[in-house]
Amino acid sequence: MIPHRIRVSNAVAWLGSIGVLAALMSGCRQTHRPAPSGPPPTKAPTTSAAPAPPPMVKIAPLPVRPVTKSHPTTPATTCPEMGPNVPVAPTDVLDTCDIGRTTVYALGPETLQLALIHVDPPRALTADFYEVTLVLDSPSAAAWASFTAAHVQDHVAFIRDNLVLEAPIIEEQVASGRIVLTTQTA
Q: Which of 38-42, 48-52, 139-143 has the lowest mean pLDDT?
A: 38-42
Cβ atoms of 157 and 167 closer than 8 Å: yes
The predicted structure's pLDDT at residue 80: 87
Q: How would CATH label the architecture of 62-183? A: 2-Layer Sandwich (3.30)
The predicted structure's pLDDT at residue 2: 45
Cβ atoms of 102 and 96 closer than 8 Å: no
**What are the domain boundaries of the chain?**
62-183
Give CA–CA dist 116/175, Å, rounded: 15
CB-based contacts of 62, cutoff 8 Å, min separation 6: 113, 114, 115, 116, 134, 158, 159, 160, 165
pLDDT-derived band of residue 159, with 50, 70 and 90 as boundaries? Answer: very high
Arithmetic mean of pLDDT over the chain: 78
